[in-house]
Amino acid sequence: MLYGSIPGVEKRVSRLVLGSMVFHTERQALTDQLLDAFVAAGGTAVDLANVYGAGQSEAAFGNWLRGRRGLGGGGSRRRSDVRDRLVVIAKGAHHAMPGYVSRMTPDAIIGDLDLALQRTDAGYADMYLLHKDEESVPVEVIVDALDTCVRAGKTRVVGGSSWSTERLGLANTYAALHGKTPLLVSSPNHSLAVPREPMWQGCRYLPGDGAALSWYAQAQMPVLAWSSQARGFFSGRFSPGQGPDPDVLRVYDTPDNWRRLKRTKEISRRLGGTHTQVALAWVLQAKFPVFALIGPRTPEELQDSLGALDLELTPEQVAYLNLERDTLPDQRRRRSRRPQTMPAQTAARQPKREVGRRRLEERRRRPG
């Protein structure tokens, strides 16, 4: 597993974050399997939301957590609680559906976090993100409510999911001027595939948005990238105009995205991985701290996603996937899968420096 750091979170944060849309009390066995396998692989961060499964996703996670109290990642008894190592991400204040009616009020912001803590029995959230924005509500109202959550010990860090960079800036300017808790993390969509329209109402995405990408590269605000694998677009189950999910085709069925898919397959043949792993490895090579949310529906899909940690793309391969160059040099690079803990923006580059150091030592030992 690779790890990064997020200001305000004292634990190491796994660069892959386990999504919970498939969690449900009616699928408790599958929920347990996915969480057990993720933790056993060194995963620490789990992304939850008030609206997933009408609350049953959080409840299923809580069932798992209560069943693992005092257990280590591999299932052995340890003195420390598994909760002490987990980074629990809660999301709340999503618009009411159907109708997309705003719930961006102090009562909903605070109440949804209280409900998440009750369902999960997590004690507190390591991060609490507002699930979509409502730009008609002044940032002062929102920041004050989030600050109340932090001061009450209900969460360590706050942020926004699908917030614009402009609103993040306004919120943090207000927080700085008035001694309130700033938003330290953001969760837009980010993947190799460039959407031609939002997947859902109110979504924000980074692919194709040069201004937003530049802002994050300069601000170095940590990003929790949802739909980091474009909802299965790179799985091989889709072709132009055909596939099991019409929403994926609505959003990603473009000539350039099919070119990107073809190039992931070409690179995967050279590296020995899968094209879904190449697409995920591309996300992890961003120029800002990024933590990729994955949504496996089976243990096999989880293992495939974990395999992306073995791949390290070269700058030339990244440019090729970005459609910025037409040819690909013959380069092969795989990363050691040993645990690494460092700031997220430097984690992916560490193996290259280590290889260079070993080569220098070998030259120094040569006679003459």
Whether the bond into 98 is cis, omega within 30 of 0: yes
Extract the tokens encoding 27: 């699928």
- CA atoms of 266 and 36, how far apart (whole Å): 33
- Strand partners for 131: 161
* Confidence bin at 334 (pLDDT 50/70/90): low
Tell me which amino acid residue 183 is: L
Give the pLDDT of residue 79.
34
Whether residue 353 has pLDDT greater than 60? no
The share of the chain scoring above pLDDT 90, in percent, equals 76
Whether residue 1 has pLDDT greater than 70? yes
Task: DSSP for 93-153, please give it.
Answer: -PPBTTTTB---SHHHHHHHHHHHHHHH--SSEEEEEEES--TTS-HHHHHHHHHHHHHTT
What is the reported pTM?
Answer: 0.85
**H or E element, residue 290:** strand 290-294
Q: How far apart are the first and last CA of the chain?
A: 41
Give the pLDDT of residue 164.
95
Per-position b or e across 193-223, b if 16+ CB within 10 A of its CB: bbbeeebeebbbbbbebeebbebbeeeebbb
- DSSP state letter for 47: E
Tokens 């790179």 belong to 234
Listed range (74-83, 90-99, 117-126, 242-251) with the worst mean pLDDT: 74-83
What mean pLDDT is predicted for residues 138-162? 97
Burial (CB count within 10 angstroms: exposed 0-12, middle 13-18, buried 19+), residue 124: middle
Nearest CA to 20 out of 75, 67, 89, 84 is that of: 89
- The sheet with strand 340-341 has its strands ordered as 13-14, 2-4, 340-341
Give the pLDDT of residue 331.
58
What mean pLDDT is predicted for residues 101-118? 93
Whether residue 175 has pLDDT greater than 50? yes
Give the pLDDT of residue 81.
83
Give the pLDDT of residue 339.
52
Give the pLDDT of residue 333.
56
Give the pLDDT of residue 143.
98
Compute, in degrees rounded to 10, the torsion defined by CA atoms 191, 194, 200, 202. 90
| Domains parsed from the chain with CATH numbers | 2-365 (3.20.20.100)
Per-position b or e across 283-304, b if 16+ CB within 10 A of its CB: bbbbebbbbbbbbbeeeebbeb
SS3 342: coil
pLDDT tens, 274-326?
A: 999 999 999 999 999 999 999 999 999 999 999 999 999 999 999 999 999 99
- 98 or 85, which is more confident: 85
Give the pLDDT of residue 350.
39
Give the pLDDT of residue 46.
98
- CA atoms of 192 and 341, how far apart (whole Å): 25
pLDDT tens, 182-212?
A: 999 999 999 999 999 999 888 899 999 999 9
Give the pLDDT of residue 51.
83
Summary mean pLDDT of the chain: 88
What mean pLDDT is predicted for residues 221-237? 94
* Confidence bin at 43 (pLDDT 50/70/90): very high
Report yes or no: 32 and 112 within 8 Å, Cβ to Cβ: no
* Confidence bin at 95 (pLDDT 50/70/90): confident
- CA atoms of 281 and 347, how far apart (whole Å): 12
Whether residue 259 has pLDDT greater than 70? yes
Give the pLDDT of residue 340.
53
